Structure 1
Amino acid sequence: MDRSTPSWFITLLMLSLCAIPASSQDDTAYAKSLLKFKESLTNVTMLDNWREPVQKLCSWNTPVWNGCLCVNDSFWGLKLEGMGLGGKLDVDSLSELPLRSLSVMNNNFSGPFPSNINKLGKLRGLFLANNNFSGEIPDDAFSGMRAMTKVVLGDNSFMGKIPMSLLGLPRLVDLQLQDNQFNGRIPDFWQADLKVNFSNNKLEGAIPNTLRDQNASSFSGNLNLCGEPLDPCKRKNSTKKIAIIIAAVVVLALAAFIVLFVFYRRRQKPLKHEKSVDHLQTEEPNKGTVTYKNSEHGKLYFVRNDTQKFELEELLRASAEVLGSGSFGSSYKAVLFTGQTYVVRRFRNMSNVGKEEFYEHMRRLGRLTHRNLLPLIAFYYRKEEKLLITDFVENGSLASLLHGKRTPNQPLLDWPMRLRIIKGVARGLAYLYKELPMLTLPHGHLKSSNILVDATYEPLLADYALAPVINKDHAKEFMVAYKSPESTQNDMVTRKTDVWSLGILILELLTGRFPANYLKQGRGPSADLASWVNSVVREEWTGEVFDKDVSLARNGEGQMLRLLKIGMCCCEWNVEKRWGFREAVEKIEELKERDSDDDYSSYASEGDLYSSRAMTDDDFSFSKA
């Protein structure tokens, strides 16, 4: 290349050589591997757009399929976080991909550590935190993975020794193993700039010299760890008196264990928590079950008098099933030996209020009685965590009815049924506004997964009025109210914030589309569903905006359009222009299953919702922020 070649041409050529995207042929092959991997998963509603044909997995550096990661307009990895996924991770399918990052955090995976994970030789980050993985990790699990920089396995039930193959990862800078059951000594990690978190395990012995500059919190919760940055290790020449005391304690502990084992040997399968509850229950090393342990705090507090009382011990001995793991904690279906069925919600982010304040707020919630509220039955209090007990609702959540796979006997979620559901939601919310006037957010977490549907398809609001007892940082990161425009833009919420959540729910109910922003952590833009509806209405009115099952209502189009307008007016970005809650509820109550002669004409006389002037330009300002 001679000197006459323009400098801009040289620069362009260099840039093109540095970032050559994968060919469409490569992406077609990658797509087949991803679809094969999807077959090993369960509850894959969030991956519904993984369909062939697909020529490119990345378009302008944006993934075409949910959960894919793109770098330089090429497929890079998978970020399948908080999607409710289960099943197993098919490493063989993934090994056919140029995978640099794999994250399935905050899902429902269980069972052993994925076998042959080291087949993913290019992997730089592995994120399995907050699932239900268990068992020992093979010592050679990470052998040969020299590109690995981050290994995040916290909040599972792994046990055994920390794999020595982690020492063979020269680029490792982040290792998170907290809240598991790893035991034994910590290996002598040598990697420079390595940050670790080994808290809340069963590790013992002296902390290696190479890790003594870490924060003490990275080792807390391991009773037998010692050395900097924790307390100094005791000398080996302990006195004879200490040895005798230790021996006596061991004997007493063994005796207590034998007594408890004999007493409970006929108990049913106990309630399984994702983590042990300190001083309340402990996990048996080999079985992973939960054994009741007496505690001065081990008592349920019932907030209702119309429910048969039972002891915490009975709850822990009940047969149990994990229902799911969400942003606030895990849920379990517990069946007592009497046949009563309850749901146990476990919270770890309610430590911002004192005991008396917490008790008073729970008693206040226990006094609430309405056809469309899921009643609180009892609660258990400890500073570190809380349990909330409610009835079990057989039909599950509205989210599962809208977005899950329909069972053979499940009726069609048609317009009359959806109208009944949204009216029930509005009535339950109106009751909360009336009974909790002191709260800025009478609900605060209104979304389809927090609306249960009973046998008659009557909705029951759940997870309501918890904002006062949820830690503020956690609430701002996960609660739906804090994804509203006024919160993301001005760091504030108002009495109209629940109205915004109601509007998004209405649009979800009508369109059948899940508000994708609810899957995102943090407080980013939150009007994706509302913006999509707005764009359809602005461009050209078509029936595409409605879910196929609800669009079958031949005599209800006008009523559906009225509800669509209500939803959009509730989603107004400007809080001052947004409808008030009373106005929204009154408009919802006016809706009918069928149109009268003049219902539809006022909305569709000119062919579309926008041009008919059913709304003004101001009605669409929610999309302008």
Structure 2
Amino acid sequence: MVSISYALSDPEILLKFKSSLTNHTALKSWENSSNPICNGERSNWIGVVCQKGAILGLKLENMGLSGTIDANTLVALSSLKTLNFMNNNFNGSIPEFNKLTGLRTIFLSYNRFSGDIPGNAFKGMVRLNKLYLSKNRFTGPIPASLATLPRLSDLKLDGNRFSGEIPDFKQEKLHVVDLSNNQLEGPIPASLSKMNADMFAGNKGVCGAPLKACEATVTIIFPTSTTPADPRENVSPNFMNKISMWIIVIPIVVGVLILLAIVAIVIINQCKKPLPDPKLKAIKVEDRASAASSNETKPAEAAPKLSSVSDDDGDKFDLQDLLNGSVEILGSGCFGSSYRTSLPDGTAMVVKRYKQMNGVEKEYFQEHMRRIGRLRHNNVLTLVAYYYRKDEKLFVCDFVHNCSLAVHLHAHQTLGQPGLDWPTRLKIVKGVAKGLAYLHKELPSLTAPHGHLKSSNVLLNEFFEPLLADYALIPVINAESAHELMVAYKSPEYVQHGRVTKKTDVWSLGVLILEIMTGKFPSNFLLKGKGNGEEDIVTWVKSKLGDDDRETLLTNLEVFDREMGAIGVGDGKTMKQLLKIGLSCCEDDVQKRIDLKEAVWRIEGLKLRNMSNDGEFFSAIASDCEEDMKW
């Protein structure tokens, strides 16, 4: 069967692979065609990742796919290095990926795979460096072959039913091992003792660093000879055990106290000094200013205890842990500064320091933080912990490695990256809509559950999935600052009538859609909303339509961002539909503006078409459009 696959062309291989899948309507573009699948770095088939004209990977997450992942057929793709089937409906046993020895990454999280994984399931996959199996239903022991992979760096097995002891992972490059929420037991290997304790949470039988120490077992050997009695034999065993324990504990305690004293001195001295120049300078899109001055101090002068927002008992780390790592300024926004730091195990975290919350009562603030901390959604950035002091508030969350949407829309050239293509932009819009709908569902008592939706508050993970940030702040921001700085208070209903409504977030969503589709930055968000004489994005788009009905848009291509690249004619219709949804969200009259439920429903209904690739979609764009596209 494998030998037959080698005789097939790349399109035939993928079509054969598609036939093993069910519910594959999202793969309509996978059809026999005279056009090659890959044209350099560009793919003509959705979900196919290309590199130098060859098929590098399959990126088929969030497509509702089920059936069988036919590894035998994929063997014939000699350049295949990455497989991404996350967030689908696959079930049954794990595919035979060890036949694909060239794979670097495998992402299977959020499916329904089940059963034991054979111990040798990954034997011979010496190039594999990332394996994500989170949130499935796997059982049995963790495959021993994983501990033999020399290049393994990221392993996520959380949210399954793995049992037994944890293998001894000794790979030097291994820096992420998430084994939380399984049924594992026994001691944590010394090689993993420096990992974050979160990585082992939810396994009742696991012990040892970084969790609590394993209970010691005492073996009593009864004498069988008639040797002279030891004078200690009449002493209580408990007494002897206590003596032995204190002999061990006292030096450790003394050593720890000395270490803490040294650390405290270092921290105090560091806090008196300015931060070094940041390695990473974020673009402050709001006022085009520099990220932050080099003489700004660290987020806190002392190291008090952080408050966890999870349901777990106790705090997972404290502020001292964050301060001990190198602190790097990411940016300075209208509400405060953001810092990147790391926990002792190397996990990157972000600390955001807010300057506009000083009037919030402690009890109300804490209750609101606990409420936010319970939120869990793939498109909402999770709050991990917070710190309250009368004159200072800190939020702690995971570091998101792919920057913000604003950076990728308006500053990617500075970073030496290509612009976002059309499929990625549609994916981002859908994720933002899902995240916003979740916030409205979970926070119904808030008039504007997000209240501050804009491109710099949409973070992108390694798969370009959006994560909404800086949400639900209106209740805890000083009223004066909120009215001056937050997006909700720039909406037409607030400007005209001094009120925020349930549809205010819809207006923000519409502006964001127009920004994504046109590449123009909403000028009313610049300079903290004070205006700079530029025409706002909604007015600009509407001006391109003239006085005629909005169907004029169907023939006016000037509004679209050319950074999206060459687009099939079939996709052009979907792009125009999305732009019209954005305009429907931006109606000045709240009564005429669509509600969020309808907006999400219409966005979810948009599909990538790519029916034709004859010519470029943007060939008709006028040459004088360049100046209008600048922000």
Q: What TM-score does the superposition give when structure 2 sets the normalisation length?
A: 0.48
**What TM-score do you get using the length of structure 1 for normalisation?**
0.49
